[in-house]
Amino acid sequence: MPSSGPISTETDYVLIGTYTRYSSWTARVETVLEYFKIPYTKHYTNLSAVKSISPTGFVPVLKAPSMFPDIYINDSLAICEFLAELNPSLPLWPQDQMLRALARSAVAEMHSGFSVLRNTYDTNFVAKYSGNIPITEKGKMEVERMLKLWGEARARTVKRLTELGEQDEGFLFGKFGVADAFFWPVLWRFRTYDLPLATASSEATEWMAKMWSDPALKTLAKDYFRQADDPETTVAKYDDIFDGNPEIQYGRFDENWVFTASN
């Protein structure tokens, strides 16, 4: 975990979103806040109540009342850029210009792309599907692109940090940052829907293992399981999305599950 603290300790951040076991976009911002121990208050609700707490009708939204009393910062990427600006001592983005450019490019691709994966395979951290899970050719292409992106990011990072004589901590661009937080919920989808890892390079699978075993992320995972035990957080349309298909079994992961490349 990063040892340096945030400079904006007096900023009263309020994160508005939906329950993170389902909401990948809210989870991305929460992951940044939690990983870097940036103080904040969260206000989560079900999808049906979002319009009552968010002026745009979308989440996540971040407020910083002591700075901007009437301003709502919309969109996960805009929120993370705002947090990075106010906490320059934290490695939300890589310090090296080249790696920073690559990290921003990767995050932007996640933010605006991979529409088949995002629209077909709903986020549900605790859910486990097995059997004949459908995947289209476009879906396969996006899976392969995702794995290639992770592998190339790690390979380029190792090379660049070696050139700079700097330590590599094993995350996408060296230290944990916004890029890792943005791809964290994608790892859930790979696990939940047993998406194919056949084209993953060793660099990609090593990063996946690093993420799944990280203590801070495992702590977040425990909260997702706690949410799943609370009926008030349930969103029925995101549970058992293949209901009625006898070729697909629906269950729940054990909290002690461990990633291996063969999962």
Dihedral through CA 179, CA 181, CA 187, CA 189, nearest 10? -110
What pLDDT is attached to residue 12? Answer: 87
**Residue type for position 260:** T
Q: CA 201 from chain center: how many Å?
A: 21
Radius of gyration of the chain (CA): 18
Identify the band that residue 8 occupies on the pLDDT scale cut at 50, 70 and 90. very low
Q: Is the pLDDT of residue 1 over 50?
A: no
CATH 3.40.30.10 range(s) for the chain read 13-86
Query: pLDDT (tens digit, 9 = 90+) per residue, 200-219?
Result: 999 999 999 999 999 999 99
Percent of the residues in the chain that have a pLDDT greater than 70, as a whole number: 95
Over residues 31-43, mean pLDDT: 96
Over residues 240-259, mean pLDDT: 97
pTM equals 0.93
| Residue 60 preceded by cis peptide, ω within 30 | yes
Name residue, tokens 């399981």: 225
What pLDDT is attached to residue 234? Answer: 92
Q: Among positive and negative, which fits the CA dihedral 51, 57, 60, 61?
A: negative
Name residue, tokens 């809210």: 26
Query: Which CATH homologous superfamily contains domain 13-86?
Result: Glutaredoxin (3.40.30.10)
Query: 25 exposed, middle or buried (CB, 10 Å; 0-12, 13-18, 19+)?
Result: buried
Separation CA 49–CA 18 (nearest Å): 9
Query: pLDDT (tens digit, 9 = 90+) per residue, 162-195?
Result: 999 999 999 999 999 999 999 999 999 999 999 9
Q: Is the pLDDT of residue 52 over 80?
A: no
Residue 201 neighbours by CB distance under 10 Å: 15
Query: pLDDT (tens digit, 9 = 90+) per residue, 82-135?
Result: 999 999 999 999 999 999 999 999 999 999 999 999 999 999 999 999 999 999
What pLDDT is attached to residue 56? Answer: 79
Cβ neighbours of residue 106 closer than 8 Å, sequence gap 6 or more: 149, 153, 172, 179, 182, 183
Quick one: DSSP state of residue 104?
A: H
